[in-house]
Amino acid sequence: MSTASRLPGIVTTDHVFQLPLDHAAPQGEQIEVYAREVVAAGRERDDLPWLLFLQGGPGGKAARPLGRDAWLDRALDDYRVLLLDQRGTGRSTPATRQTLARRGGAGEQADYLAHFRADSIVRDAELIRHRLLGWDRRWSVLGQSFGGFCTLTYLSIAPDGLTEAFITGGLSGLRSSADDVYRAAYPRVVRKNEGHYAWFPQDVEAVRRIAAHLAATPATLPDGGLLTVEAFQALGMMLGGGSGSGALHHLLEEAWVEGPDGPELSDTFRYGVQAKLSFAEGPLYAVLHESIYGQRSVDQGGTTWSAERIRAEFPEFDARAALETGAPVLFTGEMIYPWMFDTDPALRPLKETADLLAARSDWPDLYDAERLAANEVPVVAAVYHDDMYVDTADSLETARAVRGLRTWITNEWEHDGLRVSGGKVLDRLIRMARGEV
């Protein structure tokens, strides 16, 4: 049953779909997948084209709109929007430490989660399209970050379902292994660190002081998590957003208070760090992160904790060595490390499951190079020149490999440009698709 609600300027309708866990066995186990339909108030009965939104991630639920906010304001001028909670997230059948425990041991959990990648998400979307629009009507798709990866998979698996495709910060390398991804990523993260310290030179010593304290005595976070020096470095995830550097600086400003025994890390800092580092709201982001790059024709040996292995090739990220030499301590970026399954209470029960997924070597390919080379769906993509999360060189190589794909390359926005640009990024892409720019 669908439920409608009204918020300022919009009408939303809830949809819940029973879909196969394994699309190769459609009569087998079923899961629920939730999606929220959003239309501009007053246009509920209009015959509008549909726009499917694929959220970044993996493991990220769709945004919860409070009205005509962010990019949605621009989209609702022309579309009826469907915000998909990708399988395992949000109001879809959840996949967390609590729910996965019901499936049995780590082996059973890993086998279950093997069905939560982009190929399954796309097949979910196709069944949803058929049920909402009928068999013949197509829709448009907007893919942000990992949602862009899914869009490329959509163009590979089911292009006949699409009228057009918009991609923001999500042109993945079609033949890039996890090792390739991280070998290219670490130098980009170095540059983001350099940019941060150029903006806030006082943070060099502030970070060194915190790192030295944690190297000697890891702190306990309010949820029972452990803040080690490596976990502290993981705050560098913030440096990939337009306002991330400033937000990190403000967090560091309030790191210390005078306690009964002298200086200690403040509750303000510890709660702030916990909010950035905990995977309680999105554990699949950590559990499945490296598997989004797994393709049996590319990565025959599995991903095997690639970010951790490749990090050893970049000794400048060794915080303890930096403390000894007087060098700035560098933050890391969008990397998932095996030790996170020891320090984060939301991940600890999933440690063995994550190890099994990291060792898996039979991931199906996600992209069809021949079909993409013959693509007939109009595709436009925003490529952020200074994107910390997605390699620009990979994006441009992929753009050349997809027939007819047009790119807008910009350094005006960072990876979160779709969300923070007030609709400007999406407006540009829509006008590109229409041949107006």
**Residues that are catalytic:** 145, 362, 415
Contacts of 240 (CB under 8 A, 6+ apart): 192, 333, 334, 387, 388, 389, 414, 415, 416
The angle, 0 to 180 degrees and rounded to 10, between the axes of the packed helices 106-113 and 351-359 is 60
The CA distance from 93 to 324, in Å, is 48
User: What are the structure tokens assigned to 150, written together?
Assistant: 């899914």
The neighbour count for residue 223, using CB atoms within 10 Å, is 14
Contact 243, 252 (CB under 8 A): no
User: 166 has which bridge partners?
Assistant: 142, 380
**Rounded alpha-carbon distances, angstroms, from residue 60 to 135, 144, 255:** 28, 11, 29
**DSSP per-residue string spanning 292-313:** GG--TTT-TT--SSHHHHHHTT
Question: In sequence order, what are the residues at sequence separation of 6 or more whose Cβ sits closer than 8 angstroms to the Cβ of residue 227?
Answer: 214, 218, 219, 220, 221, 265, 270, 273, 277, 343
The owner of tokens 């890039």 is: 176
Answer whether 288's CB lies under 8 Å from 277's CB. no
Q: In what order do the strands lie in the sheet with 379-384?
A: 3-7, 10-20, 30-40, 80-85, 50-54, 139-144, 162-168, 379-384, 406-410
Distant-in-sequence, close-in-space partners of 57: CB < 8 Å, separation ≥ 6: 86, 89, 145, 146, 147, 282, 284, 285
Considering just the CA atoms, what is the radius of gyration of the chain in Å?
22
134: alpha, beta or left? (left if phi > 0; alpha if psi -120 to 50): left
Instruction: Give the relative orientation of helices 178-199 and 392-401 as an angle to the nearest 10 degrees.
Output: 130
